[in-house]
């Protein structure tokens, strides 16, 4: 298979584990070994984290435009390799090839989205409660992120997280599921082709045996500032506890127990079509998959009969590479036994399978698509997330009753509601305790809306503009003393006047052309050759000794005009105020004089204005009265 990689990816290099240990990646459809990959431990993970830390110092300083460009290139390369990526996804996860291609398109949509969103990470300037202070709020990349991804969407969960964190200016270490590491390695290969710098993305592969120690260091290492995890609630709580020791940011997308509610006013045909998508996509192995079908008693029999027919006709079980297959195997033996155990327990306590309810003779991970009725609260399947191809149907009478049943869970990820009553749709959206609610639809995930849950279903959001915010820190900066007036004694004005006099005398010796109006100069400033000539001298000015001094720091009397350190450049004439717009700048040697203004004053006497603010090494805008003229927009470089 093209794009198949069997080494880990650290600092832009394909590497083996320090111990040279490997573990096999199996195809769940036939248990064959696809390839072996490095079985890395905590030491390998530490190296990856340190690499990401070094890369962060550079990546965080790239422009948002540059990050956007690189993400877009990654998107383009992934799109061009859709078929190769889908082949790898099917080989390691077992899902049908058509679904694998759909996952690539879905995952790629996040790269496209964050390539655009990267250019719109903005701050705020807030209204200040104080007259002499300014409040500014900016966002900054949080740092190195640990990315721990699941096996059910091995490519899309990479791009949804990494696209966002890269856009924010972060770097990462990825630990994919031991069942499906190959899609992550392929994504890293394509990222390298797209020009992602070394160390920005690192992929550490590890077996189930070493996963605890690798996960521990990825949560507790001092250089890790955020942990982004998608997976079970049980594992999420463990990672959350380890992250708490270092008070680290967490972004957790955990288990769900989604209700699929059908009211009597619903379009039953649409509800059935959407039920197939919500339940049997990826063979039921989706966190937002419908787990409990709550059907109003008036349409219960009609819905259940139609659902049974749909399952029998549309759920085609088999290897993902076989044409026409819609449901592949469960990911591993553990998941297969869990699903089988929940169904057997329900049947033991009185539930009835209208279809399915057992393993297929195709293989030990192929479980038949199942529809259960007569399910009661005392059955384990009533409250647990099934994560398999089993639909559980329950009956309800009133809106209040179904809201109570739906909300009676520690999970709060997704919910589905089918009704034609607009008021009821709004009420259900408000009353259901879930992070996402779909009305009359069975698919709700996309790059544009915020994906995530409440209660024990997670913390934070992925996708949308909020997906980037998870990987940024907010910084509040207070600028104070903006109205402070620095006292300037009379000697300053005498000195300044003397310098202006010498400058004007020097300028008078040279040919000068009439100055353009100030507005015109402001519009064409960068295009004026004379200004450009002077701008070319600024770099050495900043590096010189005198370039670090301002007018206030000039202690000695002005020297000869050919040797003085301060020059005045008149860049425009303010007709309304009858004054010059000038630039003051410092240099250690004479520069070429062009378009300098004559100052029409024999004495060049400066009268002290009512207020004069002068800042060291910064730009200040003020007015200095020079006889009858006003010099405006004084800039101290």
Cα–Cα dist 19/35, whole Å: 18
* pLDDT value at residue 132: 87
Strand, coil or helix: 193: helix
Distance (Å) of CA 413 to CA 150, 457, 469: 16, 5, 20
Nearest-angstrom CA–CA distance, 131 and 133: 6
Residue 508's CB is within 10 A of a number of other CB atoms, namely 12
Among residues 115, 75, 65, 109, which one has the least CA distance to residue 448? 109
Helix and strand tally (H, E) in the chain?
19, 25
Contact indicator for 275, 370 with CB cutoff of 8 Å: no
Of the residues 92, 253, 462, 569, which is catalytic? 253
pLDDT at 68: 98
Res 131: pLDDT: 87
Superfamily covering domain 9-255+469-475 = Aldehyde Dehydrogenase; Chain A, domain 1 (3.40.605.10)
253 among known catalytic residues: yes
Q: How far apart are CA 46 and CA 173, in angstroms?
A: 10
Element housing 147 (H / E): strand 144-148
What tokens does 276 get?
Answer: 């197939």
Does the global pTM surpass 0.75?
Answer: yes
pLDDT per residue as tens digits for the range 479-497: 998 876 555 455 655 665 5
pLDDT value of residue 308: 98
Edge-to-edge order in the sheet of strand 352-355: 352-355, 370-373, 390-396, 290-296, 258-262, 414-418, 436-439
Q: Domain locations in the chain?
A: 9-255+469-475, 258-408+414-443, 490-632
Residue 128 class from Cβ within 10 Å (0-12 exposed, 13-18 middle, 19+ buried)? Answer: middle
Angle, in degrees to the nearest 10, between helices 300-314 and 268-280:
50
CA separation, residue 567 to residues 497, 511, 616 (Å) = 12, 17, 17
CA 467 to CA 450: how far, in whole Å? 7
CATH number (3.40.309.10, 3.30.1490.190, 3.40.630.10, 3.90.1150.10) of 258-408+414-443 reads 3.40.309.10
Our measurement of the distance from residue 307's CA atom to the centroid of its chain's CA atoms, rounded to an integer in Å, reads 39
Query: Could you tell me if 411 and 253 are in contact, meaning their C-beta atoms sit under 8 angstroms apart?
Result: no
Which parts of 81-181 fold into alpha helices (H)? 82-93, 97-117, 156-168
- Pairing mode, strands 629-632 and 623-626: antiparallel
What pLDDT was estimated at residue 559? Answer: 40
DSSP per residue, 588-604:
SS-----SPPP---SS-
User: Using CA atoms, how far apart are residues 274 and 134, in angstroms rounded to an integer?
Assistant: 52
- Give the sign of the dihedral formed by CA 331, CA 334, CA 338, CA 344: positive
CA distance 71 to 134: 35
Give the pLDDT score at 501: 57
- Flag residues of the chain having pLDDT under 70: 484-637
Instruction: Give dist(CA 46, CA 595) in Å, integer.
Output: 62
SS3 sequence, 168-187? HCCEEEEECCCCCCHHHHHH
Residue environment code for 23-49, b if the CB has 16+ CB neighbours within 10 A, otherwise e? bebbbbbeeeebbebbbbbbebbbbbb
């Amino acid at each position: 298979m093209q794009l198949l990689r069997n080494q880990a990816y650290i600092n832009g290099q394909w590497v083996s584990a320090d111990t040279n240990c490997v573990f096999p990646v199996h195809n769940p459809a036939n248990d064959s070994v696809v390839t072996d990959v490095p079985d890395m431990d905590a030491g390998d993970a530490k190296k990856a984290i340190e690499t990401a830390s070094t890369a962060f110092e550079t990546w965080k300083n790239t422009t948002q435009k540059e990050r956007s460009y690189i993400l877009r290139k990654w998107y383009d390369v992934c799109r061009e390799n859709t078929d190769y990526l889908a082949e790898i996804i099917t080989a390691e996860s077992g899902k049908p090839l058509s679904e694998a291609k759909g996952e690539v398109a879905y995952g790629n949509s996040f790269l496209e989205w964050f390539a655009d969103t990267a250019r719109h990470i903005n701050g705020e300037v807030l209204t200040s409660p104080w007259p002499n202070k300014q409040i500014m709020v900016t966002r900054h990349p949080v740092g190195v992120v640990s990315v721990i991804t699941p096996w059910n969407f091995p490519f899309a969960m990479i791009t949804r997280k990494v696209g966002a964190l890269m856009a924010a200016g972060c770097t990462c270490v990825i630990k994919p599921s031991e069942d499906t590491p190959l899609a992550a390695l392929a994504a890293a290969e394509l990222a390298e082709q797209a020009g992602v710098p070394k160390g920005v993305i690192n992929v550490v592969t590890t077996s189930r045996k070493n996963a605890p120690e690798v996960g521990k260091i990825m949560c507790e290492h001092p250089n890790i500032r955020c942990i982004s995890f998608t997976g079970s609630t049980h594992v999420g709580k463990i990672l959350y506890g380890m992250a708490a020791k270092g008070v680290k940011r967490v972004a957790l997308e955990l288990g769900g127990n989604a209700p699929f509610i059908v009211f009597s006013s619903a379009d039953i045909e649409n509800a059935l079509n959407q039920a197939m998508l919500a339940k049997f996509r990826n063979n039921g192995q989706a966190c937002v998959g419908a787990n409990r079908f709550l059907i109003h008693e008036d349409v219960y029999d009609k819905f259940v009969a139609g659902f049974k027919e749909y399952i029998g006709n549309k759920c085609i079980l088999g290897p993902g590479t076989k044409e026409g297959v819609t449901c592949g195997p469960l990911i591993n033996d553990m998941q297969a036994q869990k699903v089988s155990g929940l169904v057997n327990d329900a049947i033991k306590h009185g539930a009835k399978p209208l279809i399915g309810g057992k393993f297929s003779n195709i293989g030990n991970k192929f479980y038949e698509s199942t529809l259960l009725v007569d399910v009661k609260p005392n059955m384990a399947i009533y409250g647990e997330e099934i994560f398999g191809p089993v639909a559980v149907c329950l009956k309800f009478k009133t809106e209040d009753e179904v809201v109570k049943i739906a909300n009676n869970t520690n999970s709060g990820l997704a919910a589905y509601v089918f009704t034609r009553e607009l008021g009821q749709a709004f009420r259900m959206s408000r009353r259901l305790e879930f992070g996402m609610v779909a009305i009359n639809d069975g698919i709700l995930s996309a790059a544009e809306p915020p994906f995530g849950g409440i209660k024990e279903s997670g913390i934070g959001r992925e996708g949308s503009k909020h997906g980037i915010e998870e990987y940024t820190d907010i910084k509040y900066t207070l600028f104070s003393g903006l109205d402070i007036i620095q006292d300037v004694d009379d000697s300053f004005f005498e000195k300044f006047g003397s310098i202006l006099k010498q400058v004007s005398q020097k300028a008078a010796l040279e040919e000068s052309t009439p100055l353009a109006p100030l507005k015109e100069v402001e519009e064409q400033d960068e295009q004026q050759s004379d200004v450009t000539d002077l701008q070319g001298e600024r770099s050495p000015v900043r590096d010189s000794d005198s370039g670090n001094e301002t007018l206030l720091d000039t202690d000695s009397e002005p020297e000869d005009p050919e040797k003085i350190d301060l020059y005045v450049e008149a860049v425009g004439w303010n007709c309304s105020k009858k004054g010059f717009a000038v630039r003051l700048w410092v240099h250690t040697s004479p520069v070429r004089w062009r378009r300098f203004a004559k100052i029409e004053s024999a004495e060049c006497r400066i009268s002290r204005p009512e207020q004069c603010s002068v800042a060291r090494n910064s730009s200040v805008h003020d007015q200095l009265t020079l006889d009858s003229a006003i010099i405006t927009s004084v800039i101290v470089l």
